[in-house]
Amino acid sequence: MANNFSYFLLTLLLLFTLTVTGSSSQSMDDVKPSTPLVSFLEILQHTAFNTFGNSNFDPKTYVDLPLKFPLSVTDHAFHNLSKSSTGSVSVHDLNRFIETYFHAAGHDLVYSDPEDFVPEPDGFLPKVKNPEVRAWAIKVHSLWKNLSRKVSSEVKTHPNYHTLLPVPGSVVIPGSRFREVYYWDSYWVIRGLLVSKMYKTAKSIVTNLISLIEEYGFVLNGARAYYTNRSQPPLLSAMIYEIYARTGDIELVKRSLPALLKEHEFWNSDIHKVNISDAQGCTRTLNRYYARWNKPRPESSTMDKASASKFTTVSEKQHFYRELASAAESGWDFSTRWMRHPPNFTTLSTTSVIPVDLNAFLLGMELNIAFFANVTGDNRTAEHFLQISDVRKEAINSVFWNANMKQWLDSWLSNTTHEKVQVWDTLHQNQNVFASNFVPLWMKPFYSDALLVSNVLKSLKTSGLLRAAGVATSLSDSGQQWDFPNGWAPLQHMLVEGLIKSGLEEARSLAEEIAIRWITTNYIVYKKTGVMHEKFDVEHCGEFGGGGEYVPQTGFGWSNGVVLAFLEEFGWPEDRKIEC
């Protein structure tokens, strides 16, 4: 048996080769230029760090500051400040400079009273019978008013005074330091808005994201000038699908289709694409995250430079900065999932990972484009995208599926990224357990396969991810926020909805159990703190999450949306208590 197994591995080693289409070399062609304002604000950020110190310091605040005067005037005044040899300024002088030359961060977004908000919409959460839970759900619903903004007219009048981008419609922000619209957050915000019957607000968010595609060729990570070098998990088509399913808005579908085709082209550009020749000699095409950036992220510049300080050469630092920005593009910033030698943060190698979830999202995009094209009568496009979705499904099964673990696993490229042909075998799969290993279940080609769902369900139950207050992100307690013991609303929702849609009674039962745990911990934390949180500690019911590079944030867009979506799906019986 041992000899047969060795022969099997050797065969795989010889048969699996991988070609990266678009070298990972750090060429300047792969880098988006920064704006003069962003570059100046980064310098201000470093000066503020040297002046105020690390305590309660959030670098993002400084790149969000709107100018009161032209940059040339502000820059001149800045250079006239008296600075020490370490680059610091007296606290008094720097505070006075900032107060004189800048508006407060967030000043260029103004509150917007959503026209489709009512305190308790008709038909709101009919299955929520418990009065205590219902009262809380109405409070969560009311948070859409708190999080609604529109871009100030000042941004359109003086765009060079702002890092905020002038999107046309009203937005719903995540909350706290996240003062602008974000890409993948918006999917779960929209799911909550649809429960709240706020269809116009949901459509406005989509319109804003489409405007970014029309301007930049893709949906940015967020609506800031410093986010133009990367995207986020591609869920725009899923947002449009959900709005159409509720409203039948065919005009929105028609308006969206050209933008979605452009977005699909972006994700299948050379830098994001990998071609794989598998054991059967079939060429498979899959995709990865790859930011067009090789410098510190402006919103985290002080932190990124500190993290890169162990590297001695410029090229090593540039490579590390690209890996940081690419992890931010993934939405999982940060996690041991992207580290070659976890938990060593400096071993981030995001561009060397072919991620399960990204390819599942792209499969969903292709299926949605086919659906939209069919709805609008474009049969040729519909047929084309059905064909390429079938090809992607086969690629996902061929490259990611692990029959022993009954999960889909990310695959690593080799370290020698300059080589066009690389050896690939099953040992290059990342066999650590992450919630993302189950994300394909959210897509119809997988949740509609009853035998597959049954196998994945067993694997999920024994994975170690199911905890007292929801699904853990990973099993590694690294101190990074996209690791144990944190749980995140998007991951709970994707897994729960995939289980529900399978139609299997056992799967729905587990889905409801996860949803009840998640709703409960959200509720208890809300009662204790008076706010909704960005992430939660799934090991301890009633505790919010932590870790990562910033303090825990509140608001919070996607947490609100998932709670409302779960309550709509499962309700809450009058006699069911809500307690840890």
pLDDT band with cut points at 50, 70 and 90 for residue 124: very high
The predicted pLDDT at position 409 comes to: 96
d(CA 460, CA 436): 11
> Residue 534 carries which DSSP code?
S
Q: Say if residue 21's pLDDT is above 80.
A: no
User: Which residue, of 101, 125, 155, is where some domain finishes?
Assistant: 101
Q: How many domains does the chain have?
A: 2
Q: Whole-prediction pTM value?
A: 0.94
Using one digit for the tens of pLDDT, what is the confidence trace for 504-515?
999 999 999 999
pLDDT band with cut points at 50, 70 and 90 for residue 416: very low
Does residue 474 lie within any of the structural domains?
yes
What single string gives the DSSP state of each residue in 184-199? HHHHHHHHHHHHTT-H
Helices and strands in the chain, H and E counts: 20, 15
| Percentage above 70 pLDDT, the chain | 93
Does residue 371 lie within any of the structural domains?
no
Does residue 63 lie within any of the structural domains?
no
Phi and psi angles of residue 470, each rounded to the nearest 5 degrees, phi first: 140, -160
- Give me the residue label for tokens 């598998």: 278
Q: Say if residue 10's pLDDT is above 50.
A: no
What is the number of other CB atoms lying within 10 angstroms of the CB of residue 78?
Answer: 19
The predicted pLDDT at position 532 comes to: 98
The predicted pLDDT at position 13 comes to: 35
The predicted pLDDT at position 256 comes to: 98
Which domain, by its residues, includes 46?
36-57+68-101
The predicted pLDDT at position 415 comes to: 57
Among 242, 263, 323, 333, the active-site one is 333
The predicted pLDDT at position 111 comes to: 95
Which is nearest to 137 in space by CA: 559, 580, 511?
559
Between 13 and 48, the more confident residue is 48
The predicted pLDDT at position 419 comes to: 40
List CB contacts of 49: < 8 A, sequence separation 6 or more: 57, 59, 302
Between the alpha carbon of residue 145 and those of residues 116, 118, 553, the distances in Å are: 10, 10, 18
Does residue 531 lie within any of the structural domains?
yes
Lowest pLDDT segment from 186-190, 466-470, 545-549? 545-549
The predicted pLDDT at position 29 comes to: 55
Could you check whether the bond before residue 342 is cis, i.e. omega within 30 degrees of 0? no
Known active-site residue 534: yes
List CB contacts of 92: < 8 A, sequence separation 6 or more: none
**What is the sign, positive or negative, of the torsion defined by CA atoms of 337, 341, 347, 349?**
negative
Q: What is the mean pLDDT of residues 49-59?
A: 94
d(CA 71, CA 85): 25
Q: Say if residue 168's pLDDT is above 70.
A: yes
Using one digit for the tens of pLDDT, what is the confidence trace for 223-273?
999 999 999 999 999 999 999 999 999 999 999 999 999 999 999 999 999
Residues constituting the chain: 580
Phi and psi angles of residue 538, each rounded to the nearest 5 degrees, phi first: -80, -10
pLDDT band with cut points at 50, 70 and 90 for residue 422: very low
Output the CA angle 294-297-300, nearest 5 degrees: 150
d(CA 463, CA 473): 11
Q: Say if residue 8's pLDDT is above 60.
A: no
Q: Say if residue 400's pLDDT is above 90.
A: yes
Between 48 and 83, the more confident residue is 48
Summary mean pLDDT of the chain: 93
* Residue 313: Cβ-neighbour burial (10 angstroms; 0-12, 13-18, 19+): exposed
Q: Say if residue 324's pLDDT is above 90.
A: yes
Q: Say if residue 24's pLDDT is above 50.
A: no
- In sequence order, what are the beta bridge partners of 286? 274
Long-range own/partner contacts, residues 502-510 (CB < 8 A, 24 or more apart): 502/441, 502/447, 502/448, 502/450, 502/453, 503/450, 504/450, 504/453, 504/454, 504/457, 506/454, 506/457, 507/453, 507/457, 510/457, 510/460, 510/461
pLDDT band with cut points at 50, 70 and 90 for residue 280: confident
Does residue 472 lie within any of the structural domains?
yes
Q: Say if residue 493's pLDDT is above 70.
A: yes
Does residue 75 lie within any of the structural domains?
yes
**Letter for the amino acid at 68?**
K
Q: Say if residue 282's pLDDT is above 90.
A: no
> Residue 332 carries which DSSP code?
-
**DSSP reduced 3-state for 182:** strand
Using one digit for the tens of pLDDT, what is the confidence trace for 129-144?
999 999 999 999 999 9
Show the tokens assigned to 476.
């590694």
List CB contacts of 342: < 8 A, sequence separation 6 or more: 336, 476, 478
Show the tokens assigned to 429.
């799969």
The predicted pLDDT at position 85 comes to: 84
Does residue 540 lie within any of the structural domains?
yes
Q: Say if residue 209's pLDDT is above 50.
A: yes
The predicted pLDDT at position 200 comes to: 98
Using one digit for the tens of pLDDT, what is the confidence trace for 343-388?
999 999 999 999 999 999 999 999 999 999 999 999 999 999 999 9
Output the CA angle 515-518-523, nearest 5 degrees: 120
> Residue 80 carries which DSSP code?
T
Q: Say if residue 25's pLDDT is above 80.
A: no
Among 154, 534, 537, 568, the active-site one is 534
**DSSP reduced 3-state for 268:** coil
Q: Say if residue 541's pLDDT is above 60.
A: yes
Residues of the chain by 3-state class (helix, strand, coil), percent to 5: 55, 10, 35
Does residue 151 lie within any of the structural domains?
no
Lowest pLDDT segment from 85-89, 306-310, 504-508? 85-89
Known active-site residue 333: yes
Show the tokens assigned to 537.
């500690």
The predicted pLDDT at position 229 comes to: 97
Q: Say if residue 420's pLDDT is above 60.
A: no
Q: Let me know: does 464 contact 420? Beta carbons within 8 Å.
A: no
Hey, which bits of 194-319 come out as E strands?
273-277, 283-287
d(CA 448, CA 210): 30
> Residue 429 carries which DSSP code?
B
